[in-house]
């Protein structure tokens, strides 16, 4: 009973990577399992390796870090929402 998950959030994929990495799975095996479930929406093996390295170095947060620079929505655009 295998089904693909079509829509995913980046933090969801990272949480799965963190979980499987904690179970001592290698990045190649993590990527294989992600590909089984997420299909074409799966991230690349290079990104899986990057996240495994981040978690090995002590990172625990699965969300994007704040970036400096211009926001993607102007103040006027925010008023419309």
Q: Does residue 78 surpass a pLDDT of 60?
A: no
C-alpha–C-alpha distance, residues 80 and 64, integer Å:
25
In three-state secondary structure terms, 39 is helix
Angle at 37 between CA 41 and CA 53, to 5 degrees: 70
Tell me what pLDDT residue 68 has. Answer: 75
Q: Tell me, yes or no, whether 25 lies in a domain.
A: yes
Higher-confidence residue of 4 and 27: namely 27
pTM given for the model: 0.74
Q: Tell me, yes or no, whether 18 lies in a domain.
A: yes
Question: pLDDT (tens digit, 9 = 90+) per residue, 14-57?
Answer: 999 999 999 999 999 999 999 999 888 899 999 999 999 999 99
Q: Tell me, yes or no, whether 30 lies in a domain.
A: yes
Q: Tell me, yes or no, whether 17 lies in a domain.
A: yes
Range of the domain at 32: 9-58
Q: Tell me, yes or no, whether 51 lies in a domain.
A: yes
Q: Tell me, yes or no, whether 48 lies in a domain.
A: yes
Q: Tell me, yes or no, whether 22 lies in a domain.
A: yes
Give me the helices (H) in the chain, please. 10-22, 27-38, 45-56, 75-80
CATH code of the domain containing 25 = 1.10.10
Taking Cα atoms as reference points, which of 51, 49, 65 lies closest to residue 18? Answer: 51
Q: How many domains does the chain have?
A: 1
């Amino acid at each position: 009973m295998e089904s693909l998950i079509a829509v995913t959030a980046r933090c969801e994929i990272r949480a799965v990577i963190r979980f499987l990495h904690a179970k001592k799975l290698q990045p190649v095996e993590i990527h294989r399992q992600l590909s089984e479930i997420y299909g074409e929406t799966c991230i690349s093996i290079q990104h899986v390796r990057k996240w495994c390295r981040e978690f090995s170095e002590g990172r625990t947060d699965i969300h994007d870090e704040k970036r400096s620079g211009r926001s993607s929505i102007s103040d006027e655009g925010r008023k419309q929402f």
